[in-house]
Copies of this chain bind each other. A is one copy, B any other.
């Protein structure tokens, strides 16, 4: 490693000290290794001197997973960004961690294959970060999240050894499944340096529908109806009225849906043409039966793009409400979505907050966006509301995070969902990987 591989200028230390949450603290030094041997070298040096070490992909996380909260070395994997192999016969891709997820998708789709996980950040986020956080996205309902696609890893342990887990085969039951201990471990157990991913054939045809409803409850009934029709759409996105209003304001139009719309579903089915037609019919039938006020079906790719545009504009449009957003990716069993919205309505009233919601209704994974101005008293109310939200979600047999992870931003809420015994066990697992506690300290567990 040369001087090019190390950065100590204050702009870099700032930039590598934060993530998509815009919170953090500056790194003490940033290193940019070229390969796993160099990663191991950095790790051994940090281990010897007990220096905190924080692995970092593209830095698009929302919970501070890549942020050096205790200072130390930020190890950016950005130079390790090659697609090493796309093995068409074995339906496998082997990649370095900082391949951008969208670039990998484009590369495999060019030869008729498909890597399904599609977090909203896919044009910016690195596949290594997707693995470390177990990223989801709209398609997870049909296709599963990142963990369903990781067959094997190369990783550097915080004690300096390079290990390989799993491999090129889908079936492998030799020893413990270390691959799936590392997926979603938020960079606290090992540094991922190579990833073996399972691919599937690209579905040749999509059909996209948009259905509007008077209430969230009717939209949720439509989702149940679709499942009772035994259809698994590739996406079922739910958007509530406050979110729709924000997008309309952002795009400068009066309205995006019929008057009186309380919720909108964006639905997509995919597969072979014949099956897609049949499934789209069933979806439409289920929506109408649940009381849809309007069902549109895209007739071509440009109409499909137009329907998806609203979904893509959601995140930026929330800025028209307030400058600060506490974005929570809670999840409940999908039959309980109406109860989740009732809970949010209570919180809105009790804490006088605007809380637009949208998300992946098929998974019960709803993004609850607590919007606040930069006013201390309002931020305090938002934090009280967060705790009520999380306690309510766990009471509904849900989880406080379906996609974003815990990082440092949610670590104080961990005890709402996990028992003391469960947390103690996880800490013993952490100890098994990282006896000195140098790797990504201050994450997941309350400090």
Contact = CB atoms under 8 A, between A and B. Distances in A.
Nearest to A202: B230
A63 to B, nearest CB: 10
A148 interface: yes
Interface in A329-348: 331-335
Contact of A181 (B180, B335, B402, B418): B180
A405 to B, nearest CB: 5
A444 interface: yes
A177 B181 contact: yes
B335 A90 contact: yes
A32 interface: no
Interface string A228-269: 101110000000000000000000000000000000000000
A326 to B, nearest CB: 17
A168 B271 contact: no
Contact of A333 (B169, B180, B431): B169
A165 B274 contact: no
A185 B176 contact: yes
Contacts of A335: 87, 89-90
A173 B271 CA distance: 29
Contacts of A92: 333
Given A202-B230, A231-B201, A428-B433, A145 B171 contact: yes
B333 A171 contact: no
Contact of A112 (B148, B230, B364): B230
A349 interface: no
A333 B168 CA distance: 6
A421 B160 CA distance: 10
B148 A148 contact: yes
Interface in A383-436: 397-406, 414, 417-419, 421-423, 425-426, 428-433
A140 B171 contact: yes
Contact of A173 (B177, B277, B403, B430): B403
Contacts of A406: 173-175
A170 B145 contact: yes
A399 B167 contact: yes
**Most chain B CB atoms below 10 A, which of A88, A175, A275, A400:** A175
A45 B228 CA distance: 47
Contacts of A183: 177
Identical subunits present: 2
A301 interface: no
B422 A178 contact: yes
A183 B172 CA distance: 12
A184 interface: yes
A164 interface: yes
Nearest to A365: B171
A435 to B, nearest CB: 8
A331 B169 contact: yes
**Most chain B CB atoms below 10 A, which of A157, A232, A331, A363:** A331
A224 interface: yes
A340 B385 CA distance: 59
A194 interface: no
Contacts of A96: none
A421 to B, nearest CB: 4
Contacts of A277: 274
A178 B162 CA distance: 23
Given A272-B275, A275-B272, A147 B433 contact: no
A432 to B, nearest CB: 4
Contacts of A433: 425, 428
Contacts of A91: 227
A136 interface: yes
A278 interface: yes
A148 B170 CA distance: 11
A90 B141 CA distance: 11
B175 A423 contact: yes
10 contacts: A140-B170, A141-B170, A163-B419, A163-B422, A167-B399, A169-B365, A176-B181, A201-B231, A204-B230, A274-B277
List the 5 shortest-distance A-B pairs measured between CB atoms, nearest first: A274-B274, A171-B402, A201-B230, A180-B180, A275-B275
